[in-house]
């Protein structure tokens, strides 16, 4: 652990102890013990314990700009307040202003600070957070004295839900720091600048909040590693880190820990350090490895794009084939294909295919898994398709046992090529249905049925944690765009992110095969 990190741990320990009302002498004694433990193990059990003992609301209050330890303690002791909600009430009804050394202006600042914290902790979907982060990075990069801006944090790790935006701003040298902080404060859209020596918090008029870490070129690698990894990843990494730098790029940091560079999506502290040390990191799939686009709806069901437009768009984007999958007949809610539409659509696909010798449209369908686990249409119609995605749409409210049996039965149907969006979740909107995924994945592996990572940014279903499990079980994964128009092709980037987060290589994905090999699988 380096000096700065040690200092940050010791500062946190002091803050928590002072909140408890411990004397300066006790604080020093704890800090000495913590320093010895940090030197020996790189961790501090004292800090972990204090974190647990302190009401989480108090720790949050310390993040409000202008509220130091002394004031938070005063609030806690005098008003018995332990949460931000209670503090907000007290700021409004005058109790806070009435405390010694507070007054109306402080109370008003606290109220604003709470509102800002709320904004900061608002959870966003990955694709929204990514857009926002790219906009902010661009604005920061235009400031005088800034050499480069890197997006870091959970956005760079491609978590499906994002709370905080983090950036590393690389500048010309230590002499520029002060001037740069002033420029950040004056940057377009910035309404407030706060934070400590280590990191700067920028609040934007849009409501966005950004953690900014300033670094010189020589510190850039370490700063980016620190601003990106999860707490567990960093703890494991720092325990191996030797030397004093300089660490201008991430490779040099990992090298100093005896490791190859680890892709950001894997930096969750979930075995990647051990795998890297053993030379067993997977070679993660990249978007350019994809040859086929799967799970695309057309104007035959609830999409807006025609078969022909799909073919042109995919071919222009470098794909070799597309798998069209409209909804099946019982999906009245989304205008599913009636049996006679199937014939019409297939004739249209044949006609489009005659236009190309370097691109193919495959005839697929997203067939509903009915309540008893059978597939919509029945065998005679299903036989006409090149491949079948089997998905659950209505009837979510089954018990786990019933739902699992329903899906297992669909996997047993020889028509099923791919299990679509396997848990039905809608991020921030609908919980996954009750299902025993372990059994489902095992059966999929046995039957040679692929399981979808649905790339719709509102779904990202299968969850990346289970993607990794699926890979362990030998399940093939299908990346489904679930696109209803050509614009939905951008979903693929989110799907690739989740596939990478689930440790997938190109070989693990169905979409990386050429059309012939895909058809053999189907
Ligand atoms: Zn669906
Ligand atoms: Zn769909």
Contact 395, 374 (CB under 8 A): no
Of 25-34, 144-153, 447-456, 461-470, which gets the smallest average pLDDT? 25-34
Distance (Å) from CA 420 to ligand 1 centroid: 6
Of the segments 30-39, 41-50, 54-63, 484-493, which one has the largest average pLDDT value? 484-493
In the prediction, which pLDDT does 237 show? Answer: 97
Of 179-183, 333-337, 352-356, 471-475, which gets the smallest average pLDDT? 333-337
β-partners of residue 214 are 169
Residues with CB under 5 A from ligand 1 (ion): 391
β-partners of residue 430 are 426
Distance (Å) from CA 492 to ligand 2 centroid: 14
In the prediction, which pLDDT does 3 show? Answer: 66
Q: Please, how many CA atoms are within 13 Å of residue 371, restricted to the half-sphere of its CB?
A: 6
Instruction: Check pLDDT > 90 for residue 48.
Output: no
pLDDT of 165-211, one tens digit each?
A: 999 999 988 778 888 888 988 888 888 888 766 789 998 777 788 99
Burial 337-354, CB ≥16 within 10 A → b, else e:
beeeebeebbebbeebbe
Distance (Å) from CA 266 to ligand 2 centroid: 28
pLDDT of 402-411, one tens digit each?
A: 999 999 999 9
In the prediction, which pLDDT does 116 show? Answer: 74
Distance (Å) from CA 421 to ligand 1 centroid: 7
Please state the separation of Cα 250 from the chain's center in Å: 21
What does each C-alpha distance from 119 to 58, 198, 513 come to in angstroms?
18, 22, 44
Instruction: Quote the mean pLDDT of the chain.
Output: 91
Distance (Å) from CA 438 to ligand 1 centroid: 21
Report the distance separating Cα 210 and Cα 164, nearest Å: 7
In the prediction, which pLDDT does 5 show? Answer: 67
In the prediction, which pLDDT does 82 show? Answer: 83
Range 498-514 average pLDDT: 98
Report the distance separating Cα 92 and Cα 85, nearest Å: 11
Note the ligand closest to the C-alpha atom of 326: 2
pLDDT of 105-138, one tens digit each?
A: 999 989 888 877 776 567 889 998 999 999 999 9
Instruction: Check pLDDT > 60 for residue 47.
Output: yes
Distance (Å) from CA 82 to ligand 1 centroid: 44
Of 19-33, 46-60, 139-153, 428-442, which gets the smallest average pLDDT? 46-60
What is the token pair recorded at 411? 């996997």
Distance (Å) from CA 474 to ligand 2 centroid: 25
Instruction: Check pLDDT > 80 for residue 99.
Output: yes
Note the ligand closest to the C-alpha atom of 368: 1
**165-171/209-216 β-pairing:** parallel
Which is more confident, 196 or 476?
476
- Of all residues in the chain, the percent with pLDDT exceeding 90 is 66
Distance (Å) from CA 289 to ligand 2 centroid: 23
pLDDT of 442-461, one tens digit each?
A: 999 999 999 999 999 999 99
pLDDT band at 356; cut points 50, 70, 90: very high
Residues with CB under 5 A from ligand 2 (ion): 366, 482
Of the segments 28-32, 188-192, 288-292, 394-398, which one has the largest average pLDDT value? 288-292
Range 273-285 average pLDDT: 98
Beta strands in 108-223 (DSSP E): 124-125, 146-152, 161-162, 165-171, 190-195, 200-204, 209-216
Of 82-91, 439-448, 467-476, 485-494, which gets the smallest average pLDDT? 82-91
Instruction: Check pLDDT > 70 for residue 39.
Output: yes
Note the ligand closest to the C-alpha atom of 365: 2
Range 420-436 average pLDDT: 91
Which is more confident, 166 or 11?
166
Instruction: Check pLDDT > 60 for residue 387.
Output: yes
């Amino acid at each position: 652990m380096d000096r700065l990190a040690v200092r940050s741990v010791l500062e946190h320990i002091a803050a928590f102890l002072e909140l408890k009302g411990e004397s300066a002498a006790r604080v020093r004694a704890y800090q000495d013990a913590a320093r010895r433990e940090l030197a020996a193990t790189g961790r501090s059990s004292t800090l972990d314990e204090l974190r647990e003992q302190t009401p989480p609301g108090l720790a949050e209050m310390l993040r409000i700009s202008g509220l130091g330890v002394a004031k938070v303690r005063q609030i806690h002791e005098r008003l018995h307040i332990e949460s931000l909600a209670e503090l907000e009430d007290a700021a409004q009804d005058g109790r806070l202003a009435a405390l010694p050394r507070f007054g109306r202006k402080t109370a008003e600042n606290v109220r604003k600070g709470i509102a800002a914290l709320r904004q900061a902790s608002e959870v966003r979907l990955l694709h929204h957070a990514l857009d926002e982060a790219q906009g902010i990075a661009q604005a920061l990069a235009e400031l005088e004295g800034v050499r480069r801006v890197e997006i870091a944090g959970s956005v760079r790790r491609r978590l499906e839900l994002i709370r905080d935006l983090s950036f590393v701003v690389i500048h010309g040298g230590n002499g520029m720091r002060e001037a740069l902080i002033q420029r950040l404060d004056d940057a377009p859209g910035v309404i407030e600048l706060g934070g400590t020596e280590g990191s700067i918090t920028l609040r934007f008029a849009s409501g966005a909040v950004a953690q900014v870490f300033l670094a010189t070129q020589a510190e850039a690698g370490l700063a980016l590693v620190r601003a990106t990894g999860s707490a567990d990843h960093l703890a494991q990494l720092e325990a191996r880190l030797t030397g004093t730098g300089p660490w201008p790029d991430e490779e040099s940091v990992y090298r100093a820990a005896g490791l190859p560079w680890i892709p950001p999506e894997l930096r969750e502290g979930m075995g990647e350090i051990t795998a890297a040390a053993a030379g067993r990191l997977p070679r993660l799939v990249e978007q350019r490895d994809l040859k086929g686009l799967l799970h695309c709806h057309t104007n035959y069901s609830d999409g807006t794009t025609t078969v022909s437009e799909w073919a042109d768009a995919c071919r222009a984007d470098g794909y070799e084939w597309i798998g069209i999958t409209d909804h099946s007949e019982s999906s009245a809610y989304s205008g599913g294909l009636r049996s006679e539409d199937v014939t019409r659509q297939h004739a249209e696909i044949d006609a489009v295919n005659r236009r190309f010798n370097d691109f193919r449209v495959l005839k697929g369908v997203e067939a509903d898994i009915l309540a008893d686990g059978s597939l919509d249409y029945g065998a005679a119609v299903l036989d006409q398709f090149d491949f079948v995605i089997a998905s659950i749409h209505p009837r979510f409210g089954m018990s786990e046992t019933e739902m699992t049996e329903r899906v297992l039965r669909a996997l047993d149907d020889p028509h099923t090529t791919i299990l679509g969006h396997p848990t039905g979740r809608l991020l921030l909107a609908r919980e996954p249905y009750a299902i025993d995924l372990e059994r489902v994945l095992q059966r999929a592996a046995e039957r040679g049925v692929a399981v979808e990572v649905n790339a719709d940014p509102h779904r990202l279903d299968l969850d990346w944690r289970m993607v990794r499990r699926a890979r362990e079980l030998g399940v093939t994964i299908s990346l489904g765009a679930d696109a209803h128009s050509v614009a939905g092709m951008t979903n693929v980037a989110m799907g690739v992110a989740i596939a990478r987060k689930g440790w997938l290589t190109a070989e693990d994905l169905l979409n990386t095969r050429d059309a012939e090999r895909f058809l053999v699988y189907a």
